Chain A
Amino acid sequence: MKPKKLLVIVPLLLAFSMVYGQDSTQTETNMKLLSGVPGNTKLLLTGVAWFGFQAILNDKVKTDVTMNFNSYGFSPMFLWKLSDKLFFESEIEINNGAIELEFAKLSCVLNRYMTIGAGRMLTPFGAYGERWEPVHIERFPNAHLRPDDNLLPDDTHLYWGAIMGVDIRGCLPLGSSKLNYALYVSNGPLLSKDENGHPTGVIQYENLLDENNNNKEVGGRIGLLPFSNSSLEIGFSAKHGIAGDRGDSVYGKIGATAYAVDLSYVKSIDAIKSTINFRGQFNTVMVDKANYYLTDSTTYTFDNNMQNYFVQFSIRPSMVRSKFLKKTELLFRYNSLTSPKDALWGAKDKNGKGGTITRMDLGLCYWLSWKTGLRLAYETTAMPDGTHKNEFLASLVYGF
């Protein structure tokens, strides 16, 4: 190579190297700076908002139609991937003006089959509470018939609320099948009391700070997906905790045990150009027998067992050509709730005994996006005393 060419090439290479070096240094600096800028971190704010309408067509008291806009809410969820092993998730729910922290949980991946989590979390009991309850997932304008405060005393035996504790969870591949698990230890439930301080037999599960005793609740769910396409999942759940107060010689050892079986089957079927979705859950809560006080200070006892289940079927013609039809989902749900027969609380039949409430729901959901939709439902509730309540519900749910 001629010296003249070298005189040109070498300076050019040097200049290029210097510029490249500066650029690389600058790029690294920029990357470091950018990593601290919101939007470049792995924090995601997502959530859902809703607005509801209710028309009660008849019930025990009102024979006229009553109509009102009955619910509104906003529920932002914060998801933060701190690293490949650490994850934080939290949700705040503002429902009809009441603000509540739904969950705030930090999880750490221990290995490919196990993650440990701690904090305030949704109870891994049944599939409904953790997976199907979020407003954008629930296809109906309301939840299934459940032991809430419209039917039983406040939070009676409500088995899926939040807990404070630690859980381990994961999924194990078993050939073409899968088995998932979530096991937890949390602060235990509370045996609630009447205005005189006497226990009533009602179990309150959302006893987050558990100041009444040192006993912890243990429980969990095992889910089996037998088919390789994950279309079917069957879950078995159990939990047990002591609900009585510490040092209470009469009620201190009263425990509450609950079991649940859940099932879901979801499949897109070409022959009918539709996606079918079947899901259901059966729950039973059993509280140890004890003597409870009547208002005249005499005592009585009862079998403190409650059963509750729902089955739901929906069909969505997701593979047809019509844009309207493919966004439409038809829904059917049957619900049942049986309260303890001889308890002072709960729905009663004409003889004053506890009975079964049933509800039949027909609905329609029109999807505007994957998590935004209009839900309509007509529901008929049959009370144990023979009365009926018919209502029309509508809600607009918008996810972001």
Chain B
Amino acid sequence: MKKLTLLSIALVAGIGAAILIIGCVTSKTVTAKSGMQLWGENCIRCHNAPSSGDYSNAQWETIGMHMKLRANLTDVETNKIVEFLKSSN
């Protein structure tokens, strides 16, 4: 239990320190990424990347929220990817 407590404290402290130091700022490189780039980079982390025609625009919004939660995508990533897939439909 002591090990777990220490590990938990270390993780929380690490996250807190990282947030304080960098302040949840996204770099220019990441900010400049298009929805297509983010789609190509993030979907294949776990599964093949689906094409836009696999689902309707309304369905992409639902899938976007599912993947934001399951794969822990950021808000910006999710929105850009969903907009890219909808605009390609």
Interface set of A (CB-CB < 8 Å, partner B) = 40, 42-44, 46, 79-81, 87, 89, 107, 112-113, 115, 117, 130-132, 136-137, 169-176, 178-182, 218, 222-223, 228-231, 233, 236, 238, 240, 255, 257, 259, 264, 266, 268, 275, 277, 367, 370-371
Q: Are A236 and B46 in contact (CB under 8 A)?
A: no
Residues 15-35 of chain B, each 1 if its beta carbon lies under 8 Å from chain A, else 0: 100110010111101100000
Q: Are A240 and B15 in contact (CB under 8 A)?
A: no
Measured in the bound complex, the distance between the Cα atoms of B14 and A182 in whole Å is 15
Q: Given A178-B74, A231-B41, A233-B45, are A172 and B62 neighbors across the interface (CB < 8 Å)?
A: no
Contacting B63 at CB < 8 Å: which of A79, A137, A180, A182?
A79
Give chain B interface residues in 26-85, CB to chain A under 8 Å.
26-27, 29-30, 40-42, 44-51, 54-55, 58-59, 61-63, 65-66, 68-76
* Chain A residue contacts of B75, Cβ below 8 A: 112
- Can you name the residue of chain A whose Cβ is closest to the Cβ of B7? A238
Measured in the bound complex, the distance between the Cα atoms of B53 and A300 in whole Å is 62
Measured in the bound complex, the distance between the Cα atoms of B49 and A145 in whole Å is 27
* Chain A residue contacts of B47, Cβ below 8 A: 136-137, 370-371
Number of A-B contacts (CB under 8 A): 120
* Chain B residue contacts of A178, Cβ below 8 A: 74
Show 17 A/B contacts (Cβ-Cβ < 8 Å), sorted by A: A112-B74, A115-B68, A117-B69, A171-B72, A173-B25, A173-B26, A175-B27, A179-B18, A222-B14, A228-B30, A230-B42, A233-B45, A257-B3, A257-B4, A264-B46, A268-B44, A370-B48
Contacting B62 at CB < 8 Å: which of A81, A117, A229?
A81
Measured in the bound complex, the distance between the Cα atoms of B63 and A176 in whole Å is 25
Q: Are A131 and B25 in contact (CB under 8 A)?
A: no
* Chain B residue contacts of A172, Cβ below 8 A: 15, 18-19, 24
Measured in the bound complex, the distance between the Cα atoms of B26 and A303 in whole Å is 46
* Chain B residue contacts of A176, Cβ below 8 A: 27, 29-30
Q: Are B69 and A169 in contact (CB under 8 A)?
A: yes
Measured in the bound complex, the distance between the Cα atoms of B30 and A172 in whole Å is 13
* Chain B residue contacts of A182, Cβ below 8 A: 72
The 10 closest A-B pairs by CB, nearest first: A180-B72, A370-B48, A173-B26, A176-B27, A81-B62, A240-B4, A112-B75, A171-B72, A44-B62, A370-B50
* Chain A residue contacts of B54, Cβ below 8 A: 370
Counting chain B residues whose Cβ lies within 8 A of the other chain, the interface size class is: 35 or more
Q: Are A175 and B22 in contact (CB under 8 A)?
A: yes
Q: Are B24 and A131 in contact (CB under 8 A)?
A: no
* Chain B residue contacts of A240, Cβ below 8 A: 1, 4
Given contacts A40-B58, A42-B58, A371-B47, 18 further A-B contacts (CB under 8 A): A44-B55, A44-B59, A89-B66, A130-B70, A131-B70, A174-B19, A175-B27, A176-B27, A179-B15, A180-B72, A218-B4, A222-B15, A231-B41, A238-B4, A238-B8, A257-B3, A371-B48, A371-B50
Measured in the bound complex, the distance between the Cα atoms of B46 and A228 in whole Å is 17
Q: Are A173 and B30 in contact (CB under 8 A)?
A: yes
Measured in the bound complex, the distance between the Cα atoms of B14 and A136 in whole Å is 35
Q: Given A175-B22, A179-B15, are A81 and B49 neighbors across the interface (CB < 8 Å)?
A: no
Q: Are B66 and A87 in contact (CB under 8 A)?
A: yes
Q: Are A169 and B72 in contact (CB under 8 A)?
A: yes
Q: Are A370 and B27 in contact (CB under 8 A)?
A: no
Measured in the bound complex, the distance between the Cα atoms of B72 and A370 in whole Å is 21
Q: Are A79 and B24 in contact (CB under 8 A)?
A: no
Measured in the bound complex, the distance between the Cα atoms of B48 and A168 in whole Å is 27
* Chain A residue contacts of B29, Cβ below 8 A: 176, 228
B58 CB → nearest A CB, Å: 6
A337 CB → nearest B CB, Å: 23
Q: Are A173 and B74 in contact (CB under 8 A)?
A: yes
Measured in the bound complex, the distance between the Cα atoms of B7 and A222 in whole Å is 11
- Can you name the residue of chain B whose Cβ is closest to the Cβ of A236? B11
Measured in the bound complex, the distance between the Cα atoms of B55 and A178 in whole Å is 28
Q: Are B46 and A137 in contact (CB under 8 A)?
A: yes
Q: Are B62 and A171 in contact (CB under 8 A)?
A: no
- Can you name the residue of chain B whose Cβ is closest to the Cβ of A239? B4
* Chain A residue contacts of B25, Cβ below 8 A: 173-175
